[in-house]
Amino acid sequence: METGVPQTPNPAMEVRLWGVRGSVPTPCIENLRVGGNTACVDVVLPTGERFIFDAGTGIRNLGLAEAERPGQTDLHVFLTHFHWDHLQGLPFFQPLYSAGNTITFHSGWTAERLREVLSGQMTNPYFPVRFDLLAAEMRFEQLLEEPVGFGAAKIASFALNHPGGACGYTVDAGGARVVYATDHEHGNPEADARLLKAATGADVLIYDAQFTPDEYPSHAGWGHGTWLEATRVAKAAGVRELVLFHHDPGHTDDEMERILAEARVHFAATRLAVEWETISVVGR
């Protein structure tokens, strides 16, 4: 029956933003509209399949929400790299403490290295509970450039330019693509080319835009990008929507609104990553 109301297509994926800040959590009043938890994003398919990207402090709230779902949980966590702001929430991720859950960790590093790093951050004197005593079954896998099937999705990694190394991820499902490319500094031709290739035609590009163009010269070599470079990549790649991510801890909500306004002059389909928001992704 015709209702005269435009029908919104069912989303191929939903991207949920649990932590959007970079470097260090900022639980202060001037940052609360955008959010103060560090990096954590999950992608949810209509089938209920869920893929988590990074384990900053935002993963705590994700874990609390997950713990409310009945039954056992089979989760996949994809880590970009091992700096604190992308790992520090993991010891407080509730599903790790429930027997019957299976949690598979993925990264661009070997499974042995991945296990070693995650175990190392939960040893005495850093944390009172040892990683090997957690109740959930944990698995460790290396994910490289070749796409791997995870149910209805295909996920692949690609190397970024960041001190100590980092990787981004592409998620393809239902005719749509989401690209998660945080902790990348422009200027390395090979890394920039990999990012552009991964982002070409993407429906959503989540991009590291920690610095303003004025701030960047004094932070060159730190491994992060700018909102201006983000808009350039978005235009060159022909993405549908750009999401500015990994906000600097010193940028207040009011400053973030000014950054967004400037970015939209260069690429209109730009939004800020805002904690607790959900982005519906519809395939082309």
Give the model's pLDDT for residue 204: 98
Give the model's pLDDT for residue 1: 32
Is the pLDDT at 70 greater than 80, yes or no? Answer: no
Give the model's pLDDT for residue 71: 65
Q: pTM of the prediction? A: 0.95
Is the pLDDT at 4 greater than 50, yes or no? Answer: no
Is the pLDDT at 7 greater than 50, yes or no? Answer: no
Q: Is 2 a domain residue?
A: no
- Interval 80-99 mean pLDDT: 96
How far is C-alpha 244 from the geometric centre of its chain's CA atoms? 11
CB within 8 Å of 65: residues ≥ 6 apart: none
User: In which band, very low, low, confident or very high, does the pLDDT at 283 lie, cut at 50, 70 and 90?
Assistant: confident
Q: Is 49 a domain residue?
A: yes
Mean model confidence pLDDT for the chain: 94
Radius of gyration of the chain (CA): 18
pLDDT tens readout for residues 39-62: 999 999 999 999 999 999 999 999
Three-state SS annotation for 205-245: EEEECCECCCCHHHHCCCCCCEHHHHHHHHHHHCCCEEEEE
Is the pLDDT at 8 greater than 60, yes or no? Answer: no
Give the model's pLDDT for residue 67: 78
Provide the 10 A C-beta neighbour count for residue 243: 27
Q: Is 4 a domain residue?
A: no
CA dihedral 219, 225, 227, 230 (to 10 degrees): 160
Q: What percent of the chain is helix, strand and coil (3-state, nearest 5)?
A: 25, 30, 45
Is the pLDDT at 72 greater than 70, yes or no? Answer: no
Give the model's pLDDT for residue 66: 85
pLDDT tens readout for residues 222-273: 999 999 999 999 999 999 999 999 999 999 999 999 999 999 999 999 999 9
CATH number of domain containing 112? 3.60.15.10
Q: Is 1 a domain residue?
A: no
Give the model's pLDDT for residue 5: 43
- Interval 73-101 mean pLDDT: 95
Say if strands 50-53 and 204-208 run parallel, antiparallel, or are unpaired.
unpaired
Say if strands 166-173 and 50-53 run parallel, antiparallel, or are unpaired.
unpaired
Q: Is 182 exposed, middle or buried, given 0-12, 13-18 or 19+ CB atoms closer than 10 A?
A: buried
Q: What's the number of domains the chain is made of?
A: 1
Is residue 273 classed as helix, strand or coil in its secondary structure?
coil
Q: Is 122 a domain residue?
A: yes
Q: Is 8 a domain residue?
A: no
Rounded Cα distance between 182 and 162, Å, is 10
Q: Is 37 a domain residue?
A: yes
Angle between helices 189-199 and 227-237 (to 10 degrees): 60
Q: Is 128 a domain residue?
A: yes
Is the pLDDT at 3 greater than 60, yes or no? Answer: no
- Interval 125-146 mean pLDDT: 95
Structural domain harbouring 27: 13-281
